[in-house]
Structure 1
Amino acid sequence: MANGSRQAAWEFFGIELKRRREDAGITQVELGSRVFVSGGYIGQFEQAIRKPQLDVAQRIDGALQTDGIFERLCRKLIDDPRYADYFAGVVELERLASTVCDFEPTVVPGLLQTPAYARALTLATHPFATDEFVEDRVAARVERSRILADAARPVYWAVVHETVLRVPVGAPEVTAETLEHMCVLAGERKVLLQVLPFSAGAPANNGALRLMEFEDAPPTAYTETSFSGSLLDDPAVVQRARRAYDLIRGAALSPEASLALVRSAAEDFRRCASTT
């Protein structure tokens, strides 16, 4: 589904939600209290500003007795073949976040990847994929990264493990270009970049970790391993994830020292590329 068609479908979701709510004779605040979100949240759903998570859509069906229509719509709209099932909801929330904090232990964060890096990473994980599949994944990664060029872009903080700077993805020049790209974005103050060095020892979280904050909604956390991911909104769990991220950030090098290390690693890959 193209982006324009997807947005139009979310607008239909909102219009239908408003109609069903008003037919039931309840306010946004009343519906919100029944499905454990704020009334303002319901208003954002109805205006297609924010997309509900699947469990919220299911609770809306229960509150309005709509026989699963909002669950079915939600499942259809978050089903984007360019993303794993467990990540599609993260992409929707990413576009609305006021602050995004990433920790990546093994690869460059998606928002900082170059097309060549994204292509090499996709081929590494899908060695028998068709060209169309690979290019769809690359296009999706590039599309996501455009939020950093937006004037209303989120505050973005990324911590990467030093492993990310040492393990090549694709040819040496591909990794060099990507590390240089990270430095450019940091220099343009589109990302606050830190590196967790080998000397820091074991990180407070072993897998990828993301925190997202919003202007008018509770924060969420996302954790990921090789074949699965979990979007978390329980306040106690999100708080634990925040503490883990704070520990990682506290153990990381300063932004200045981190940038110097990234530049040095990029130069190493450039030298490697020139000798091959």
Structure 2
Amino acid sequence: MDETTAPENLNPLQRFGRDVRQVRLARKITQKHLGKATGYSEGYVSKVESGTLLPRPSEKFAKGCDVTFGTGELFAGLLRRVDEGDHPSWFVPYLNLEKKASRILDYSASLVMGILQTEAYARAVFRASHPREDSELIEGRVAARLRRRELFEQDNPPLLWVILHEACLRTDVGGVEAMPEQLEYLLTAAASPHIELQILPYSAGAPAVHMPFTLLTFDNSPTVLYADGPQGGKLYDSAKTVASHVDSYDRLRANALSLERSLALIKSLLKEYRW
């Protein structure tokens, strides 16, 4: 990071790195010492401080900085705000609940669910929906979307059950550069013991619901619904609304292809892209 760069011109990762460096220097700690204290290398610390570590520093590093510097939860909080800064404000409440859910039940109507998107696919989605946005902002959104996969790296990850309408597989997002990779990633994801994937085929007829939605279930609190709207997504906790969508999800799942046949369809479409 250029030392002469004005603070207002720094992106969120650069601001985080600047703050780490300032506190480190104030405590008279070397990069090597900080790396050892947090469980990382000196090079890792250098990349954090320059704002070039992608997709972003780990939560372990941020918490390690707080312990080493004696700053409470300052850097852990700053890192959370880096994540939030790359997401629209209306999506942040959903993300906070997604991390606590024991099961995530998703229906995707036309695009692959965000947490299962590859980098190239996500970039094409964001570029289509934000055609005038600077490339740096697009890349920030892409990196934030990919970071959601960290959900499955925790000790007790949730069960993710995804129903993709066949349109998700046949909508050409990103062309031959993105679609084969996306289909391959779906097959890889479906091999995880924490992810179940079904396809709702065109032959199933009109779906129970036409808009995508997600149900989040928890061990000790009621199920919550997340659904898209014209002004962005919204969370619903009304028992009646949630129950209606639970019923719709059951119908979608009943009309979808079996797990095995769903994977067979994805493999078949992957061959078409490769021909």
What is the TM-score normalised by the length of structure 2?
0.68
Pairwise mapping of residues 196-275 of structure 1 onto structure 2 (< 5 A)?
196-225=200-229, 227-271=231-275
Residue pair 2:109, 2:164 contacting (<8 A) in 1 also: yes
Whether 2:168 is the aligned partner of 1:155: answer no
Q: CA deviation at 1:227?
A: 4.2
Instruction: Tell me, in whole angstroms, the C-alpha distance in 1 between the residues paired with 2:183 and 2:150.
Output: 18
Q: Percent identity?
A: 36
User: 2:107 matched to 1:107?
Assistant: no
1:118 and 2:85 are equivalent in the alignment: no
Structure 1 residue 78 displacement after superposition: 11
Runs of 4+ in 1 over 6 A off after TM superposition: 76-79
Alignment CA distance shift 1:200-1:264 (3 Å): same
Give me the CA root mean square deviation: 2.1
For residue 150 of structure 1, report the CA deviation from its aligned partner: 2.8
Deviation string, structure 1 residues 110-163 (Cα, Å, up to 9, x no partner): 111111111111111111111111011011101112212333110110000000
Tell me the equivalent position of 1:85.
Answer: 89
Give the total of aligned pairs.
199
What is the CA deviation profile of residues 204-229 of structure 1, one whole-angstrom value per residue up to 9, with x for unaligned ones? 11111100011111110111145422
Name the CA distance, whole Å, in 1 between partners of 2:170 and 2:117. 15
Distance 2:82 2:118 in 1: 25
Structure 1: 5+ residue stretches without partners: 6-75, 272-276
SS in 2 for 1:80: helix
Equivalent residue letter for 1:209: F
- Equivalent residue, structure 1, for 2:38: none
Equivalent in the alignment of 2:172: 168
1:211/1:269 CA distance change after superposition, 3 Å: same
Query: In 2, are the aligned partners of 1:207 and 1:225 still within 8 Å (CA)?
Result: no
- Which position in structure 2 is the counterpart of 1:130? 134
Contact 2:83/2:144 (8 A) holds in 1 = no
Q: Hey, what's the Cα distance between the residues in 2 that align with 1:226 and 1:263? A: 34
CA distance in 1, matches of 2:190, 2:159: 12
Asked if the contact 2:166–2:199 (Cα under 8 Å) also holds between the matched residues in 1, the reply is: yes
The separation in 2 between residues aligned to 1:208 and 1:81, in whole angstroms, is 24
User: What residue is the counterpart of 2:41 in the other structure?
Assistant: none
Q: Which residue identity lines up with residue 246 of structure 1 in the other structure?
A: D
